[in-house]
Chains A and B, each alone.
Chain A
Amino acid sequence: MIVVRQKKLEDIQAEIAPYKRVLLVGCNTCAAVALAGGENETSRMASTLRLRNAREGGDKEYSFTVLQRQCEPEFLEELDHSEADVILSLGCGAGVALLSEIIAKPIMPALDTLFIGAARGYGSWRAECSACGNCVLDQTGGVCPVTRCAKGIMNGPCGGVDNGKCEVDPNQECAWVTIYDRMEDLGRSEDAEKIIEPRDFSRRITCRAWGLPEGGSK
């Protein structure tokens, strides 16, 4: 899933400063699961903005709604924004982008989109994928060096490894140590020794859009 995080209220206020009627739009898919943009969090942000507005004697009006998924045009059709001067999106970057494309009004992000990640328990996620378009997880025991290695190196570990920890963040496991351990557990230590080819950055750059080939399947 896409992991997102709410921006600071001050930054959000700056985004919407010129507008009076603000419609907050939540997203009931990744943003809800990331505990940042579901109905609960959207209503909470609307309340906080109203309280701040009241305190500052502002004249802003806040309302909110939640869409099932902001990154689907069909779901956006149900959005009634007639009373809004600006839309504050509590979706990921894709949601903000699609809203902006379809609705001819300013669309402002209330969230920062962080990464593609997996849940580690209640309210906790870890980045697992950088969407590089050039997946090597078959060679790394399912641990992504692009994402989990601070330097993103394709053959590690680097000289900065210290007791299995990363020199950039001593709380962080070294991705490459994890890769070797995992491959060993899988009985694939020999494969782990093999040199991985440099990343083909062109694949990422060209992959701006993708669809199933005509006919719906390969």
Chain B
Amino acid sequence: MGVTQHGRGAESLLGELLAPCRAACPVHVDVPRYVQALAEGRFSDALGIVIERNPLPAVCGRVCLRPCEDGCRRCQLDEPLAIAQLKRAASDHGVYPTLEAAPKRLERVAVVGAGPAGLTAAYDLARLGYGVTLFESKPEAGGMLRYGIPAYRLPAEAIAEDVRFIAAQGVDIVCGKTLGVDLDLEQLRADYDAVVVAAGLQASRPLPIPGNDLPEIATALPYLATCRDGQPPALGERVIVIGGGNVAIDVARSARRAGAREVTMVCLESRDEMPASAHEIHDAEEEGVKFVPARGMKAVVGTDHVEGLETVRCVSVFDADRRFAPTYDESDRQVIEGDAVIFAVGQGADVASLGLETTPRGLLVVDPATLATPTEGVYAAGDVTCGPTKVIDAIAAGHRVAASIHATLTGDDRLLEMLDEDFEKLGPIPEAVAVRLETRRRVQCERLEVYEAVETFDEVEEGYTKYEAAREAQRCLACTTGAQLDRDKCASCLTCSRVCPYGVPVFQPGGYPYFNADACRACGACAAECPAGAIRLGGWNEDEVAEKVAAGLRRPEKDKTIGFVCGYTHDLPSLLGKDAEIITVSCLLRISDRIVLGAFESGAKKVVFSGCTEESCRFPHAMPLVAERVCRVRALLEEAGMADDFVVSGESEDADDANGTADSADDSVGTKPVKEGAR
């Protein structure tokens, strides 16, 4: 959660009811809202929404383990939205926002370690007005993102983009300074009002088995760092990687790229128990990495050089209480031949010399609620406090430590309290509604061909084009953005239940409709048709639309034409000249009579309605209802003597001539065909 550009000073960062994707995200990024923006081709808006909660969009768009996708309600229908790739599309095609600087505070904070936790903490603190210095021991900021994750998954430029944005908020980043070497903790405590240690897990050790000191032995982190620097050591043709986690996969795939002809991953766990993500395992296998699961390591074989790895069968890794207690079948021995062994069997903290209290595992001791260490004024966040976690967990810890420091320095603990705010999660789609929903397969990202991929450290996934991103985003079910009733205004007219094709509004004793959020598809028909103005849509505000209209009409380069365009339209109609102000919406059903008439009142010379086509329309009732509304608005405008100023695309021959102008719109989604299909 943490500090948002909009949320500062607000009492609540979350609504009461969260979409499952948002609920599952450790920092509760407002996924439905940014995906909606993408669906409408508003990439910069989407990026701004991501950044409200997550200052590392380019990074997370590539390497987040995406717990959000497990929550996606599309899983009930086909497959989840590609939320991470969509986040990447926001950062690829959107412009990072220019945020208004916060009023400066006198207090200064030192953050040590420019990984995801440190970067986030520094960003939040700078946004709160603190003077922040972010120290990094390596030559460049990024921490494990920069030196631990291979470039084919996360190129340096993506990290640099996010780091530039964070630095632009006033964070002073000082690289090449190591705590305990160039920096003295006591001196930092004296110079700053608070110190955050976000040093990560820098230690990477081989297993204590015979032969682990042979020359062709490496450990994961130094090996990955040398790959990042473009100078991986020549380890030989056949490389054995020990470990079953995502880091081991990174090592194995890096070794392929560094020239190893044959890479074998050996791990204790069985295939099903391997901690690596399924898609990572899949990608590694595609690149020719071999897996030898359920093996215990006995010794590295070889006298002067590595010749292989001696293993025994691992019967079980965990005991009945899920504690790590491997058992072996010593009779099942096997030597895996190889020229080098890289250990990727966990990382450790390297903070023993700092004089801070540590756990038996060598991690820093912190209060989990405040992330304060027992040493006054010193805080810690990220992996150094809890062992290896996900990037997004480190970002969450960064938010927490910033909120905690703010609470200590100012006495205002609202931000910290908001991090533990309760919320309710949207339930599954009711069966009666689910059967009425269309299925749509995920839009696949272009990727390097495997034979190309293993030749270089270039990024494998190319990322969505604008058009692909919009198409993928359009699969979103818009959870929690549906109808909400203002009972004080409701006239119990039943119009909502008569226009809803999903049977969502149910009338209860007392005569008020109840909108089941699990079932509502957020098309907007009821809100626009409600005669009493008693229905609101989550995240939708007619006043904001009116402001957009007014802003568009003020722009001197525009021709005072307002185009309300369905974001699901493939092409912009030619009747929208390049000087028209285009306002995209998730469905034209949302554009009420009031909005159209209001646009004319604000000075619009012409208003254009441009809907989608029958094949791209997601709502079975939208077209007839919009047609009815058009008739009604026309009749009103006729009375006002200006019926000709309201134009609907697709009504005349030339309106169908749709092309050309799409590229002129700032966030055009283009016209390229898209590849859809199963993974």
Bound form: Cα–Cα A55–B639 in Å: 11
Contacts of B489 in A (CB 8 A): 28, 39
Q: Does B322 contact A (CB under 8 A)?
A: no
Interface residues contributed by chain A, number (CB under 8 Å): 27
| B:494-511 near A, CB below 8 Å | 494-495, 498-499
Contacts of A56 in B (CB 8 A): 641
Bound form: Cα–Cα A119–B529 in Å: 16
- Inter-chain contact B531/A39, CB cutoff 8 Å: yes
Tally of contacts, chain A with chain B, CB under 8 A: 78
- Inter-chain contact B597/A44, CB cutoff 8 Å: yes
Closest-CB distance, B146 to chain A (whole angstroms): 55
Contacts of B529 in A (CB 8 A): 40
CB-CB under 8 A for A51 and B600, given A40-B531, A40-B594: yes
- Inter-chain contact B640/A9, CB cutoff 8 Å: yes
- Inter-chain contact A35/B531, CB cutoff 8 Å: yes
- Inter-chain contact A44/B593, CB cutoff 8 Å: yes
Bound form: Cα–Cα A38–B530 in Å: 9
- Inter-chain contact B597/A41, CB cutoff 8 Å: no
CB-CB under 8 A for A28 and B597, given A52-B641, A55-B641: no
CB-CB under 8 A for A33 and B491, given A50-B601, A52-B639, A122-B498: yes
- Inter-chain contact B640/A51, CB cutoff 8 Å: yes
Contacts of A48 in B (CB 8 A): 597, 636-637, 639-640
Closest-CB distance, A25 to chain B (whole angstroms): 14
Bound form: Cα–Cα A162–B637 in Å: 41
Q: Does A213 contact B (CB under 8 A)?
A: no
Contacts of B598 in A (CB 8 A): 47
| A:47-106 near B, CB below 8 Å | 47-52, 54-56, 66
- Inter-chain contact B531/A33, CB cutoff 8 Å: yes
Contact with B along A119-141 (1 / 0, CB 8 A): 10110000000000000000000
Q: Does B592 contact A (CB under 8 A)?
A: yes
- Inter-chain contact A40/B639, CB cutoff 8 Å: no
Q: Does A32 contact B (CB under 8 A)?
A: yes
Bound form: Cα–Cα A32–B641 in Å: 26
CB-CB under 8 A for A55 and B597, given A33-B492, A39-B489, A48-B636: no
Closest-CB distance, A194 to chain B (whole angstroms): 37
Q: Does A43 contact B (CB under 8 A)?
A: yes
Q: Does A10 contact B (CB under 8 A)?
A: yes
Bound form: Cα–Cα A50–B640 in Å: 8
- Inter-chain contact B640/A44, CB cutoff 8 Å: no
Q: Does B533 contact A (CB under 8 A)?
A: yes
Interface centre among A38, A43, A50 (most CB of B within 10 A): A38
- The 10 A-B pairs at the shortest CB distance, nearest first, are namely A38-B531, A47-B597, A9-B639, A122-B498, A39-B533, A33-B493, A51-B640, A32-B491, A52-B640, A32-B531
In the assembled complex, 21 residue pairs joining A and B whose CB atoms fall closer than 8 Å, in A order, are A8-B639, A32-B532, A33-B531, A35-B493, A35-B495, A38-B493, A38-B530, A39-B531, A39-B532, A41-B531, A43-B533, A43-B594, A44-B593, A47-B594, A48-B597, A51-B597, A51-B637, A51-B642, A52-B641, A54-B601, A122-B499
